[in-house]
Amino acid sequence: MTTKTRLSVLLISTPVLAFVVLGGLLGRASTGDDKLQHLRVFEDVVSLIMNNYVEEVKVDRVMDGAMRGLADGLDPDSAYLDAKLVKVAEAGGTATGAPGDVGVELTRQYYLRVIAARDGSPAAKAGLQTGDYVRAIDGKPTRDLSVFEGMRMLRGAPGSKVTLTVIRGNAAEPHQIELVREKTPTTALVAGRLIGTDVGYIRVGSFVGDVASRLRSQAQELEKNGATHLVIDLRRAAEGPLDNGLDAARLFVKSGTLALKAGRDEKGAREPISAREGDGAIALPVTLLVTTGTSGAAELFAAALDGNTRADLVGERTLGRAGVQKLVRLPDGRGLWLTYARYLTPDGRTIQGKGLNPDLAVDEPEAVEIGEAAPAGDPVLDAALQRIHKAAA
């Protein structure tokens, strides 16, 4: 490596070194030597590219790609942020930062992928479903976008438009879907009704804002009208702070552990989040409907009730998204949106990347082609009602 190239790599790779230190790669004892060897290999790879690639290479572009790769290799929610995205994170603390959105939550699986579309949102009205791949946003391929950046691009002023290139299942051709952003709701989507004379059905579409108080109100109203069992529908519920899921769980769990919060070493120190005096105001038995679109706060809510034998889970395995992120600033104005802690189930099982398994597995109907009508019927709800009536017989 020439002196000029070495100096360029050293200057531009400062954020990489900071990343490595944060990640613990510069550990102690013999393991530290092994991990430092990876840094030497990294330097050699950069040198080979700079000196042998067929075209002249801009070292800042190479290093930028390397840092994105480091973050992408952690989990879908961690991300490398350029200086512009750092300002977004500083302003809003999340990838939001704008008053309008299209009502979709994303994860990453090679491309960006839909976790769920919020009830009644532009995305839901356009037919976006759990599992759809978003190949491009306003023509920009998502292959190189983090979830943080993708979510930022979906937000904007209410009334403005954004175009998604979407592919579903094994479809050969993608669909271009134009969405008009709407003002982001600040209250939770909670609605209830009686099924028959004794089952109270509550749809929780998001865990934003006042979800706990709205859930309490619906449950009490249904019990007053004769409900002896509650079905709480968490399918495609993916929005809201993780803490809101635990706050809502307090309504149903009178005592015990709601969740455990763990840092780098999940088997080490764990912070228990426990029920408090006055919790458990709702004593009715509960069945929760879940799918792979059940994510984040909804998963913590489900895990707390399931782990304290307050609910059965019916449906599909949940997504497995229970990490807590924070902004870590790097010396040159760039930064990392880094998962630094995870929530575990009350008995210490990992949720992140694994999800929650239902007590009764029932698949949602297979997705139809975009633009086609969804099949009639609700096999997940039907199976839950059958289970409830069988237990009561």
* Contact of 245 with 297, CB cutoff 8 Å: yes
Same domain, 212 and 176: no
pLDDT of residue 10: 47
pLDDT tens string 342-381: 999 999 999 999 999 999 999 998 877 887 777 889 999 9
- Structurally, the chain folds into a number of domains equal to 3
For residue 39, pLDDT beyond 80? no
Residue type, 220: Q
Q: State the CB neighbour count (10 A cutoff) for residue 379.
A: 13
Flag whether 78 is in a domain.
no
Domain of 202, in residue numbers: 190-323+340-392
Of 152, 183, 214, which one is at a domain's C-terminal end? Answer: 183
Kindly state the average pLDDT of the residues 302-317: 98
For residue 14, pLDDT beyond 70? no
- Domain of residue 384, CATH code: 3.90.226.10
Look at residues 24, 46, 43 and name the one whose alpha carbon lies nearest to residue 35.
Answer: 24
Of 162, 183, 204, which one is at a domain's C-terminal end? Answer: 183
Structure tokens at 188: 């939770």
Flag whether 82 is in a domain.
no
Same domain, 245 and 382: yes
CA 167 to chain centre: 20
Mean pLDDT of the chain: 88
Flag whether 68 is in a domain.
yes
Q: For 97-137, give the DSSP string.
A: -SSEE-SEEEEEESEEEEEEE-TTSHHHHTT--TT-EEEEE
Flag whether 140 is in a domain.
yes
Contacts of 289 (CB under 8 A, 6+ apart): 231, 232, 233, 234, 235, 314, 315, 380, 381, 384
Flag whether 362 is in a domain.
yes
Pairing of strands 335-344, 79-81: antiparallel
Same domain, 166 and 287: no
Same domain, 131 and 210: no
In whole angstroms, what is the distance from residue 313 CA to residue 359 CA?
Answer: 5
Same domain, 178 and 194: no
Same domain, 258 and 344: yes
In whole angstroms, what is the distance from residue 247 CA to residue 212 CA?
Answer: 6
Same domain, 165 and 211: no
- pTM for the model: 0.88
Same domain, 231 and 285: yes
Nearest 5°: the CA angle 108, 350, 75 is: 25
Same domain, 121 and 197: no
pLDDT grade, residue 266 (50/70/90)? Answer: low
